[in-house]
Amino acid sequence: MKNKLEFAKQIVLEAGDYLRLHLHDDLMISKKTGPTDLVTQMDQQVQKDLVEKITNRYPEDRIFAEEDGLRSPISEGSVWVIDPIDGTNNFVTQKEDFAVMVAYFEDGIGQFGLIYDVMRDHLFYGGGEFPVYRNEVELTPFVDQPLEDFLIASNVGMLEKNDWGMADLGMDSLGIRVYGSAGISFSKILSGGILAYFSYIWPWDYAAAAIMGDQLGYTVLNLNGDKPNYQTVEPIMMVPKVKLTEIQTYLKKGRS
Amino acid sequence: MKNKLEFAKQIVLEAGDYLRLHLHDDLMISKKTGPTDLVTQMDQQVQKDLVEKITNRYPEDRIFAEEDGLRSPISEGSVWVIDPIDGTNNFVTQKEDFAVMVAYFEDGIGQFGLIYDVMRDHLFYGGGEFPVYRNEVELTPFVDQPLEDFLIASNVGMLEKNDWGMADLGMDSLGIRVYGSAGISFSKILSGGILAYFSYIWPWDYAAAAIMGDQLGYTVLNLNGDKPNYQTVEPIMMVPKVKLTEIQTYLKKGRS
């Protein structure tokens, strides 16, 4: 498994190199499910490169990925979950605050995850049998403090409508941030800079964070408190296990 | 004036060096106007250092600064406007997404401004008679595109209450971001990654951005469309001049 993780680090770093090299290429932008759901030829190219490298090296392994409808269920066999560019709208407009994410499962059990914040050059990796690192720094588990001492990250729609009590939770915290990228938000949690994150997201958005977070005292659940289904889009949270009960009082009150 | 700008660049970079060097020092955190309005000994030390260097070099010059009640009006004489740490809550919790800001006025006319995104090591400087740079890169003026192609940055309270139509404006844009720092939000506008920013802020929050933005096709106004008063907290926007009329249709509809 150590070799497989080293291989994963290498291909994710190569994906970041590719994106930095082509950062100012002309983009061919398409809209998927709506006017703000963008995809570019870079998302497709990065996914294609990752999938090719994986299937060349591990021909038996399967893929669950954002683009092109690759949806092998994580529950069966050796499955790589891929988000080639998380935060595509930031990638298109800002050229920062986007991430490459990869997670690896065997028969439904997460073995390791990787989030690469490309422009900060921060590679988060580990989980399963491995400690979690940001580059060469081993990350430390969550340390509890009062809610009011922590920032929260959230999807903007939840905030605007106070869905799941998100605005109320924000009011009792140190403040709310909206970064427009699950990967960037999760990486800030793993670094200890953000308490929790809430959004409507897909398995490729949360798989890597869930595997790494488990090592550091966090849990990834849907907002009903159940395990994510690893199949469809759901309202998802990543929160410290010791803060779950307190946070759920807001979610329950705010449930529409 | 060129010498004065070079001096300003030097002291702002030194402030950033100080903050990076002391990034993991124990913080003495106080609350100013409310539970989320934090100040630390670092804000006070950085301001003290900046003020000392300015008044040693330019004994006639005056100061308008965030901490310690230094409030010489910008309209009279040579006045430095200082925000020692913009985004203190990010500084405390995340150790990133905070900025040092300085602006310089003569008899009310902005001569130059500086925003230093400390952890990205991006120094934005210029305005008045100077071009605007991010480090060694000269920045280019705003290029118009449809609203739906741009991200917006906003204060979270305006979003939650749809004050000034902020949620409606967000719905017609590519998305909303909340960074918790005026300086970081403005620097993203100057880089072309964000269209506009809206928040309840003070002169030290917007002075540097207003001077630099003017060179690049942006204007800083209060949300009634008037010039900021450079004295008190106000609802403020920085928007491209060519987008002002379109954006004001949202502000007017949403005014409470």
CA dist A68 and A57 (Å) reads 21
Among all residues of chain A, which has the CA nearest to that of B189? A94
CA dist A183 and A160 (Å) reads 22
Beta bridge partners of B99: B86, B117
CB contact under 8 A, B162 and A160: yes
> Which CATH superfamily is A1-138 part of?
Fructose-1,6-Bisphosphatase, subunit A, domain 1 (3.30.540.10)
Give the C-alpha distances (Å, rounded to integers) separating A117 from A184, A217, A231, B41, B246. Answer: 7, 21, 25, 31, 35
Task: For helices A203-215 and A182-190, give the axis angle rounded to 10 degrees.
Answer: 0
- Confidence band of A74 (pLDDT split at 50, 70, 90): very high
pLDDT, mean of residues A86-113: 97
- The residues on B that touch A, with CB distances below 8 Å, are 35-36, 38, 89-90, 93-96, 148-151, 156, 159-160, 162, 167, 170, 174-180, 188, 191, 193-194
CB contact under 8 A, B193 and A94: yes
Q: Residue A126 in contact with residue A133, Cβ under 8 Å?
A: yes
**For domain A147-254, is the CATH number 3.40.50.300?**
no
pLDDT number for residue B149: 96
Q: A2-24, pLDDT tens digit by residue?
A: 999 999 999 999 999 999 999 99
pLDDT number for residue B44: 95
ipTM over 0.90: yes
CB nearest to A188's CB, from B94, B149, B167: B94
Q: B136-169, pLDDT tens digit by residue?
A: 999 999 999 999 999 999 999 999 999 999 999 9
Beta bridge partners of A126: A113
Binding residues of B for Mg(2+): 66, 83, 85-86, 205
Place of tokens 């993203």: B188
pLDDT number for residue B251: 94
**A183: phi then psi, degrees, rounded to nearest 5:** -60, -45
Q: A93-103, pLDDT tens digit by residue?
A: 999 999 999 99
Q: Residue B159 in contact with residue B176, Cβ under 8 Å?
A: yes
One-character DSSP codes across B124-143: EEEETTEEEEETTEEP----
Distance from CA of B144 to the nearest CA of A (A): 13
Of residues A101 and A66, which shows the higher confidence score? A101
The two tokens of residue B1 are 């004036």
Q: B104-122, pLDDT tens digit by residue?
A: 999 999 999 999 999 999 9
pLDDT number for residue A256: 60
Q: Which of B98, B77, B256, B106 is nearest to B166 (CA)?
A: B256
Domain residue extents for chain B: 1-138, 147-254
Mean pLDDT of each 10-residue bin along chain B, 256 residues long = 97 98 93 90 96 98 91 95 97 97 98 98 98 98 97 94 94 97 98 97 98 98 97 97 97 80
CB contact under 8 A, A193 and B148: no
CB contact under 8 A, B180 and A177: yes
Is the four-CA dihedral B206, B207, B209, B214 of positive or negative sign?
Answer: positive
Q: Which of A193, A170, A113 is nearest to B119 (CA)?
A: A193
CB nearest to A93's CB, from B90, B174, B176: B174
Q: B237-251, pLDDT tens digit by residue?
A: 999 999 999 999 999
Establish whether domains A1-138 and A147-254 are of one fold: no
CB nearest to B156's CB, from A148, A159, A194: A159
Beta bridge partners of B221: B237
A-chain CB neighbours of B89 within 8 Å are 151, 174-175
CB contact under 8 A, A193 and B159: no
pLDDT number for residue B253: 86
Mean pLDDT of chain A: 96
pLDDT number for residue A67: 83
Q: Is the pLDDT of residue A255 over 80?
A: no
- Confidence band of A147 (pLDDT split at 50, 70, 90): very high
